[in-house]
């Protein structure tokens, strides 16, 4: 096979695939992008403005931390990021507080984390160091963060992987892209098209074969594509659904050592921002509401004044909602809001003007939301990223070794790194 790899097929037009396509096409390589959906973006899914009054995000929404690749692309495209600001409220049995009940014990948690010299799961950490009744609030807070933010199973999640996240804070803060992730997608797609990248949609890849002349990619509709190299950027659960060259069996098996959590995201639009008019407290600048309701996490679009609340259910808790259809999930969201704000659910139903539900586990081309690290993940990442001379490389957020695994930044950085690996040959 020619060492130059003039033609590269990329499977998946999400953030990693688009970034790899852009880098390779910039360098003069011929690139074909095969995407199973009828759109680009993958787990980035901006909705049309019609339903919500802006391009609401059914998928990824925030920029987390420094995110140098993401912010570099924004600067290049003349786009902007808006740091998020507003109050974070904790609700316990109907009582609103700006303080997490576990705040006073966080320093003790940080001391234990700093002294750890061997990795262990989150469950083991809590059982070993914080089993007493006096730590109940701390355990609830940690488990809520692991399950809700990282979409992780605490019985599998690596404490070492989460330690920097917990102790380091959000370097660079959190932000939203002005106009949403859709404008960044538009920029990447335009860059790719301008450099001759070929897009093939509704191309469900079922097999990749390797040979002396490169790779043959087979699609479910009978189409085939040949190339010198293939970059596979599909979400982890889909690796086992594609027949890959026998030499990659160990890599596919290793993917099971990387956690992959689910998220159910509810977007609810109301006639007005009723939560800012509560008599008991001033919630005019509320951003996040964290509770013990059936859908525990909610946020607003503050400082924008859209009358939209986003509900978030993540991790193992989503298993209990697997049998519910979209209408039932919307109803669960309304019941949760009624519980949190002590407001009749009948009134909320009347004020609801639009709703959108995304259960990423039900999406056949995602089967979940994003990855998290287990005790075996770093070794699995090494194996998945390895190339033993074959024509197929694996890329995506799950292979990112930085602290922001599972984010758009991780996907963009991984796609960029994989492209650079090919260009360096």
For range 18-46, the mean pLDDT: 98
pLDDT at 3 over 60: no
Query: How confident is the model over 239-270, as pLDDT tens digits?
Result: 999 999 999 999 999 999 999 999 999 999 99
pLDDT confidence of 2, banded at 50, 70, 90?
very low
| pLDDT for position 210 | 93
Could you state, in order of their start, the residue ranges of all structural domains in the chain? 7-49+179-259+372-423, 103-168
pTM of this structure = 0.96
Rounded to a whole number, what is the largest CA-CA distance in the chain?
73
In sequence order, the β-bridge partners of residue 34 are 11, 200
- Rounded to 10 degrees, the C-alpha dihedral 384/385/386/392 comes to 90
Give the neighbor-by-neighbor strand order of the sheet with 7-11. Answer: 198-201, 30-35, 7-11, 229-232, 392-394
Query: Residues 12, 44: contact at Cβ < 8 Å?
Result: no
| pLDDT for position 168 | 65
pLDDT at 1 over 60: no
Query: How confident is the model over 48-101, as pLDDT tens digits?
Result: 999 999 999 999 999 998 999 999 999 999 999 999 989 999 998 888 998 887
How far apart (Å, rounded) are the C-alpha atoms in residues 287 and 86? 5
Three-state secondary-structure class, residue 303: coil
Exposure string of 275-314, with b = 16+ CB inside 10 Å and e = fewer, is beeeeeeebeebbbbbbebbbbbbbbbbeeeebbbbbbbb
Pick 102 or 308 by higher pLDDT: 308
| pLDDT for position 281 | 82
- Tally the C-alpha atoms within 13 A of residue 317's C-alpha that lie toward its C-beta: 21
CB contact set of 192 (below 8 Å; sequence gap of 6+) = 18, 21, 22, 25, 31, 33, 199
| pLDDT for position 387 | 77
Structure tokens at 176: 């939203």
Query: How confident is the model over 392-420, as pLDDT tens digits?
Result: 999 999 999 988 899 999 999 999 999 99
pLDDT at 46 over 90: yes
Give the neighbor-by-neighbor strand order of the sheet with 63-64. Answer: 63-64, 174-177, 81-83
Question: Kind and range of the H or E element at 92?
Answer: strand 87-92
| pLDDT for position 4 | 59
Helices then strands, counting H and E runs in the chain, come out as 13, 20
Return the CATH number of 7-49+179-259+372-423, one of 3.40.140.80, 1.10.340.70, 3.50.50.60, 3.40.50.720: 3.50.50.60
Indicate the DSSP class of residue 374: B
CA distances from 395 to 35, 137, 204, 282, 292 (A): 15, 39, 18, 46, 37
Q: Left, alpha or beta for 406 (phi > 0: left; psi -120 to 50: alpha)? A: left
pLDDT at 294 over 60: yes
For range 358-374, the mean pLDDT: 98
Query: How confident is the model over 121-163, as pLDDT tens digits?
Result: 999 999 999 999 999 999 999 999 999 999 999 999 999 998 8
Indicate the DSSP class of residue 343: -
| pLDDT for position 171 | 61
For range 99-122, the mean pLDDT: 91
pLDDT confidence of 164, banded at 50, 70, 90?
confident
| pLDDT for position 101 | 78
pLDDT at 102 over 90: no
CA distances from 309 to 177, 355, 368 (A): 18, 10, 22
């Amino acid at each position: 096979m020619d060492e130059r790899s003039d033609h590269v097929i990329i499977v998946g037009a999400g953030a990693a695939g688009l970034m790899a396509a852009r880098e390779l096409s910039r360098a003069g390589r011929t690139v074909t992008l095969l995407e199973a959906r009828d759109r680009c973006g993958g787990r980035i899914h901006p909705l049309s403005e019609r339903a919500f009054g802006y391009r609401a995000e059914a998928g990824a929404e925030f920029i987390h931390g420094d995110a140098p690749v993401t912010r570099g692309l924004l600067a290049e495209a003349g786009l902007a990021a808006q740091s998020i600001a507003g109050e974070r409220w904790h609700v316990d049995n109907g009582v609103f507080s700006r303080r997490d009940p576990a705040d006073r014990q966080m320093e003790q948690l940080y001391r234990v984390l700093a002294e750890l010299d061997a990795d262990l799961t989150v469950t083991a950490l809590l059982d070993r160091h914080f089993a007493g009744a006096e730590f109940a609030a701390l355990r609830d807070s940690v488990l809520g963060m692991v399950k809700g933010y990282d979409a992780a199973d605490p019985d599998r999640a690596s404490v070492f992987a989460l330690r920097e996240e917990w102790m380091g804070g959000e370097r660079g803060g959190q932000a939203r892209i002005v106009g949403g992730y859709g404008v960044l997608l538009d920029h990447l797609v335009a860059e790719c098209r301008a450099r001759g990248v070929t897009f093939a949609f509704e191309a469900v890849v079922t097999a990749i074969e390797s040979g002396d002349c490169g790779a043959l990619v087979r699609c479910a509709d009978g189409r085939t594509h040949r190339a010198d190299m293939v970059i596979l950027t599909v979400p982890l659960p889909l690796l086992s659904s594609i027949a890959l060259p026998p030499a990659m069996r160990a890599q596919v098996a290793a993917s099971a050592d990387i956690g992959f959590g689910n998220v159910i995201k509810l977007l609810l639009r109301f006639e007005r921002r009723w939560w800012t008019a509560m008599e008991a407290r001033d919630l005019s600048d509320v951003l996040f509401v964290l509770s013990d309701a059936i859908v525990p996490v909610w946020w607003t679009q503050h400082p924008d004044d859209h009358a939209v609340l986003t509900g978030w259910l993540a991790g193992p808790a989503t298993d209990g909602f697997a049998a519910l259809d979209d209408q039932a999930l919307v109803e669960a969201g309304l019941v949760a809001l009624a519980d949190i704000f002590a407001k009749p659910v009948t009134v909320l139903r009347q004020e609801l003007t639009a709703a959108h539900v995304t259960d990423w586990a039900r999406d056949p081309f995602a089967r979940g939301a994003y990855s998290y690290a287990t005790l075996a993940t770093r070794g699995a990442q090494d194996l998945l990223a390895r190339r033993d001379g074959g024509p197929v490389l694996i890329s995506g957020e799950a292979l990112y070794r930085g602290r922001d695994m599972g984010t758009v930044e991780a996907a963009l950085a991984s796609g960029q790194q994989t492209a650079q690996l090919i260009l360096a040959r």
